[in-house]
Amino acid sequence: MSMYPETRPRRMRRDDFSRRLMREHQLTTDDLIYPVFVTEGEQQREAVGSMPGVERVSLDLLLEVAQDCVNLGIPVMALFPVIDPALKTPDGIEAANPDGLIPRVVRALKARFPELGIMTDVALDPYTSHGQDGVLDDDGYVLNDETVAILVQQALTQAAAGVDIVAPSDMMDGRIGAVRHALETHGHIYTRIMAYSAKYASAFYGPFRDAVGSAANLGKGNKMTYQMDPSNTDEALREVGLDIAEGADMVMVKPGMPYLDVVRRVKDEFRFPTYAYQVSGEYAMLKAAAQNGWLDHDKVMMESLLAFKRAGADGILTYFARDAARLLRK
Ligand code: PBG
């Protein structure tokens, strides 16, 4: 009688062929959505200090980025605007300007690259003088229904410009239903809605707020009266359930890596197209460690993205999208 186990899980791990044969989850380029920051002007290229490798670029240079995404087979690019501070107002109404930065960029991208999916953020924070995602009452509280009315105008403006996916990231109540109803009644029946359904009031968004230039406006303010408390997961399921009932085509959990438990619960509960956002702070911490030589850049990047697949995500918004797609091609 052997004193050793007859069940040896290491047998299947011994060789590359059997490791490949029992692999359960795989990341592909089809899983990637690439977020980009776009600014006014021509030949404008500014590095985002807290996000190594990420730049704010003007439309002419963004066309080259889009071409690269097409070449790499990345299905979707997500646009975030850097708005001229002179255009920011308390109600952020520039968000609904049909000749504003985002509609112009959407029209140019769709004309040049019709096959590349384009997604736009529906939220007021890049446009408000106070950096909040909505309009405020006298006490500084973000008003729900007044904000939704502007978000609907913003989404309609983006849809009219030809965007493929609108992505409300504001966390107002009822906004998915309001946007869906407006899209339907204006004939935009193919515009998809990616709902930022379970979006947490997270400190991991810091570098993004630097990138779009809303950090200074927001100051010491926070978004806890509309974004979710990091303590909760049942609440995430209620939010996702509402957004699906109101007409979302896809739902999202955000941030990503610290919230993979939420991704798994959402996927198990609803079996609906589910996405996760590996946000700016997650990107920044991996980049910083890699730059210091503390972590292997490519390995942690791929491992972190695979973790989203394991948690049940159908796709990932990630600033690593082009780097990962390049590696996947090899
Ligand atoms: C705006 C918005 C934010 C992000 C995406 N859309 C910031 C925020 O809610 O303050 C964060 C993305 C990131 O950190 O990478 N509503």
CATH number at residue 119: 3.20.20.70
47: in domain: yes
Cis preceding-peptide flag for 230 (omega within 30 of 0): no
307: in domain: yes
Per-residue pLDDT, 3? 81
The packing angle between helices 321-329 and 297-310, to 10°, is 100
Is the CB of residue 169 below 6 angstroms from any atom belonging to ligand 1?
Answer: yes
4: in domain: no
Is the CB of residue 287 below 6 angstroms from any atom belonging to ligand 1?
Answer: no
pLDDT at 215 over 70: yes
134: in domain: yes
pLDDT tens-place string over residues 88-126: 999 999 999 999 999 999 999 999 999 999 999 999 999
85: in domain: yes
266: in domain: yes
Q: Report the alpha-carbon distance of residue 163 to residue 155 in Å, rounded.
A: 9
Mean pLDDT of the chain: 97
Pick from 62, 218, 92: nearest CA to 157:
92
Domain span at residue 134 reads 26-329
Pick from 125, 7, 104, 78: nearest CA to 278:
78
Mean pLDDT (whole number) for 15-30: 98
Separation of 269 CA from ligand 1 center, angstroms?
Answer: 25
34: in domain: yes
The model carries a pTM of 0.96
Separation of 279 CA from ligand 1 center, angstroms?
Answer: 8
In the annotation, is 199 catalytic? yes
pLDDT tens-place string over residues 286-325: 999 999 999 999 999 999 999 999 999 999 999 999 999 9
Q: Please identify, by atom number, the ligand 1 atom nearest to the C-alpha of residue 207.
A: 14
- Where residue 219 falls among pLDDT bands split at 50, 70, 90? confident
Is the CB of residue 133 below 6 angstroms from any atom belonging to ligand 1?
Answer: yes
- Best mutation site among 208, 259, 286 for ligand 1 pocket (most ligand atoms within 8 Å of CB): 208
pLDDT at 30 over 70: yes
Considering its fold, how many domains does the chain have in total?
1
Separation of 215 CA from ligand 1 center, angstroms?
Answer: 11
Q: Report the alpha-carbon distance of residue 198 to residue 239 in Å, rounded.
A: 6
pLDDT at 274 over 70: yes
Q: Please identify, by atom number, the ligand 1 atom nearest to the C-alpha of residue 199.
A: 9
Q: Report residue 193: phi and psi, to 5°.
A: -115, 120
What ipTM was estimated for this complex? Answer: 0.96
In the annotation, is 287 catalytic? no
13: in domain: no
- Best mutation site among 38, 83, 150, 169 for ligand 1 pocket (most ligand atoms within 8 Å of CB): 169
Q: Please identify, by atom number, the ligand 1 atom nearest to the C-alpha of residue 319.
A: 15
pLDDT at 26 over 70: yes
Separation of 174 CA from ligand 1 center, angstroms?
Answer: 19
